[in-house]
Structure 1
């Protein structure tokens, strides 16, 4: 029963993130994902960005830990092939300013980027990640897993 409720909540969250008119899906529009789907000859690459400060709080640490653990547990083959990547980014490091500017990131958080050809789709999971990482990390891991799986479908 708990697992069904959990999966329902995750599904609702992911659906809401994709359809919110004021969504934080940065630098993307509704046409980006269909365009990615139509280009089947190029493999999609999924990058999970854990963006943190130089002195992250415990919640930020947990977000990074469980996001990375999700990739290692469920996507080790894809990680070895370079299709799924986990990238730690220090928000305070000036060498990362171009990346942060490119994605219009103003705060630390968790972002999942899908790249195919020259198109990008960006999902902001920050709010959800910070709500679940400490007390319900399995929910965060399931959400990250589901999000990556959905994006990997572009490669089939």
Structure 2
């Protein structure tokens, strides 16, 4: 009935059968960010948030989220992840304090880890918001996007520089 891979013959959603796909190394890198006030920036970097070490807690949340992606996203396959790394970098310009979050996920399997990387970046940003919302609820979670993915049938993907400059 349909040529879409996520629909069955009745036109209803299904999880794609990947049993015939070759097992290969696959990785993905996703990015998100949180814009905070100067006060929150100083409290995070000075480890003065009452709930604890914001970046440590957010990092663990990102790792946990990557491992549980198939519980959040209905058509994602549960994957045995081989590595997850969440890193942070502060970008401070014109009195704007932006915490950039990069989530790298790797596996060896029959399907990619893009959704796991995107979920990890998103959960990390949400956790930072949760940890700091008592100080300011006006924080802004920035765009979340895939930077690169490697491996699999569709080949490698690298976000173009032009697209990055428009974000």
TM-score, scaled to structure 2: 0.26
| Structure number, greater radius of gyration | 2
TM-score, scaled to structure 1: 0.27
